[in-house]
Structure 1
């Protein structure tokens, strides 16, 4: 069994469990996958976990700020103006080490808009998605160590 096979198998099983569990407890299944994807895209391991959480949550913050300000101002094209403003902040915040993974901030932001601003369901879904990613990686490594063989080069 290769490492890729082990990781694929455990990821498939855990993701199947996630989608069932998310539905049962009223969370947003696809948003959990967004958090999981952010974890892997940020490099996995503990650093990818921290990065996924921090950047996804910052994206949610900026998107919610945009939604609230747009509703308050309510003039034509306010959405376009707020897109310019939050895009700037999603990028410039990368000067802060914990917020350096810009794609993670965009994932948090677009997920907020896709969830129609329902941050009370979105935030736990994204956070548990990062946990899901961590568990997928961890169980993949565990299975490979138990059942895998060194791959031939």
Structure 2
């Protein structure tokens, strides 16, 4: 079985479980899938990928809230666009820090916050658990592939 098929199997199973967990806990299932996507797209694997995904997602939530708050202080619509432009600059520049270097993760966290109308208290646990599910999907897929891999035939001894 290929790695892709093994990860597809475990991702399918765990996606169904995530849907149930999200509904059971009152979380945003779609935001959890964004967290999962962040992990799969992250340039790092394993726990470093988990940390990078969570850090960048949470920074995106922070920056979205800054945009939302600053945009509401002035009644002129253009100010919201200017604030968005300036904050987007900072969202990219923060990538100089290794632990915030995955820019798409930041934008995913920000977009999830906007999509939830700024309900960061609901977005944050949804994203975090989604990242954990993403890690679990890949890790269990790799485990499954390894367990089902055909053993290499023993090399014939030549005399």
The two structures have a TM-score, normalised by structure 2, of: 0.90
Mapped pair 1:26 → 2:5: no
Mapped pair 1:96 → 2:109: no
Displacement, 1:144?
A: 1.1
Secondary structure class of the residue paired with 2:77: coil
CA contact (8 A) 2:58 2:109 kept: yes
Equivalent residue pairs, number: 151
Secondary structure class of the residue paired with 2:27: coil
- Between 65-74 and 132-141, report the one with greater CA deviation: 65-74
Q: Which residue of 2 aligns with 1:16?
A: 16
- RMSD (Å) for aligned C-alpha atoms: 1.5
CA contact (8 A) 2:70 2:80 kept: no
Unaligned runs of 5+ in 2: 152-159
The two structures have a TM-score, normalised by structure 1, of: 0.93
Rg larger in 1 or in 2?
2
Unaligned runs of 5+ in 1: none
- Paired residues for 1:2-151 under 5 Å: 2-43=2-43, 44-149=45-150
Displacement, 1:50?
A: 1.1
Q: Which residue of 1 aligns with 2:156?
A: none
Structure 1 segments, 4+ long, off by >4 Å, are none
